[in-house]
Amino acid sequence: MTTVAFIGSGHIGGTLARLAVAAGYDVVLSNSRGPETLQELVGELGPKARAATAAEAAAAGDLVVVSVPLGAYRKVPVEPLAGKTVIDTNNYYPDRDGVFPELDAASTTSSELLQEHLPTSKVVKVFNNIYFVHLRALPRPPGAADRSALAVAGDDADAKAAVTTFLDRIGYDAVDAGTLADGWRYQPGTPAYGGLYAGETENFWESPGVPTAAATVQAKLDAAQR
Ligand SMILES: NC(=O)c1ccc[n+]([C@@H]2O[C@H](COP(=O)([O-])OP(=O)(O)OC[C@H]3O[C@@H](n4cnc5c(N)ncnc54)[C@H](OP(=O)(O)O)[C@@H]3O)[C@@H](O)[C@H]2O)c1
């Protein structure tokens, strides 16, 4: 697996692209406005990066990251993602995304909505609960005492394994958080959302990021209540 593609190349997509290139992957970036608007980021990332349309990026990726405002999830191309592992970083914020009654009723999760939209893909939920500044600051080599872990949920074991390998290469351990239906355990408003990687400080936005081990992530997931 050598090419990681991005549907959405903003704060989280752009940060992951930087980590992926640093780990030796090729990356293909896309956004809503077209490849020409991504040339600055491509230039920063160097020869392992290029920009494309969302459909072209979806077709090019061995692993594809969807990192768009949730309200745009139905625009994610379906056919070129068939059979692929798709990382879902998205969260539901009604003020930004519009109201999704099924999410307000907690009868499903945002990742299950993306999985329904991409029925032939294998969606894995990860990176949604870490601020991009902390995501960029916390990678560590395998075995480092201060390595951080990220929750990974999905319905396909092979896809979760592929994402765990990707995490390891970019500098993170994984915690198995179950199926996509379990993804609510690290959605906005839960103990496992955001604050843990800031050291639970009241000055979240000023925190440079605090290493967070797998046991802490697991404890936060276990503490989630509906
Ligand atoms: N910011 C964080 O720290 C953070 C952390 C964890 C999870 N998240 C979640 O991750 C998702 C992305 O957040 P973000 O902060 O990275 O957002 P962002 O900086 O606003 O970036 C969003 C990206 O999605 C692209 N996009 C929008 N509609 C698209 C479409 N139809 N097709 C292709 N690309 C499209 C945008 O392209 P244009 O600019 O061309 O419109 C932009 O590149 C959100 O669901 C957010 O809740 C964010």
Per-residue pLDDT of the chain (226 residues; tens, 9 = 90+): 699 999 999 999 999 999 999 999 999 999 999 999 999 999 999 999 999 999 999 999 999 999 999 999 999 999 999 999 999 999 999 999 999 999 999 999 999 999 999 999 999 999 999 999 999 999 999 999 999 999 999 999 999 999 999 999 999 999 999 999 999 999 999 999 999 999 999 999 999 999 999 999 999 999 999 8
How far apart (Å, rounded) are the C-alpha atoms in residues 109 and 170?
A: 27
CA 208, 210, 213 angle in degrees (round to 5)? 155
Residue 213 structure tokens: 């081990």
Q: Residue 154: which H helix or E strand, with range? A: strand 149-154
Residue whose pair of structure tokens reads 């894995």 in the numeric block: 124
Does residue 179 contact residue 189 with C-beta atoms inside 8 Å? no
Nearest Cα to Cα of residue 211 among 128, 150, 132: 150
Count of domains in the chain? 1
DSSP 208: -
Atom of ligand 1 nearest to the CA of 131: 3
Å from CA of 143 to ligand 1 middle:
31
Distance of CA 109 to the CA centre of its chain: 15
Alpha helices in the chain (DSSP H): 11-22, 39-45, 54-60, 94-97, 101-104, 110-117, 132-137, 157-170, 214-222
**Structural domain containing residue 111:** 3-222
Mutate to test the pocket of ligand 1, among 32, 39, 138 (most ligand atoms within 8 A of CB): 32
Å from CA of 1 to ligand 1 middle:
24
Handedness of CA 91, 183, 129, 26 (dihedral sign): negative
Å from CA of 85 to ligand 1 middle:
19
Looking only at the bridges linking them, the beta strands covering 149-154 and 122-125 are antiparallel
Å from CA of 99 to ligand 1 middle:
18
Q: How many other C-beta atoms lie within 10 A of the C-beta of residue 66?
A: 28
Å from CA of 90 to ligand 1 middle:
8
How far apart (Å, rounded) are the C-alpha atoms in residues 19 and 84?
A: 21
* Residue located nearest, by CA, to atom 7 of ligand 1: 128
DSSP count for the chain of H helices, then E strands: 9, 8
How far apart (Å, rounded) are the C-alpha atoms in residues 22 and 169?
A: 9
How far apart (Å, rounded) are the C-alpha atoms in residues 65 and 105?
A: 27
Mutate to test the pocket of ligand 1, among 6, 7, 9, 12 (most ligand atoms within 8 A of CB): 12
pLDDT confidence of residue 1? 67
**Ligand 1 neighbours (beta carbon < 6 A):** 7-13, 30-33, 54, 67-70, 72, 75, 89-91, 127-128, 130-132
CATH number (domain holding residue 22): 3.40.50.720
Atom of ligand 1 nearest to the CA of 54: 33
pLDDT confidence of residue 106? 96
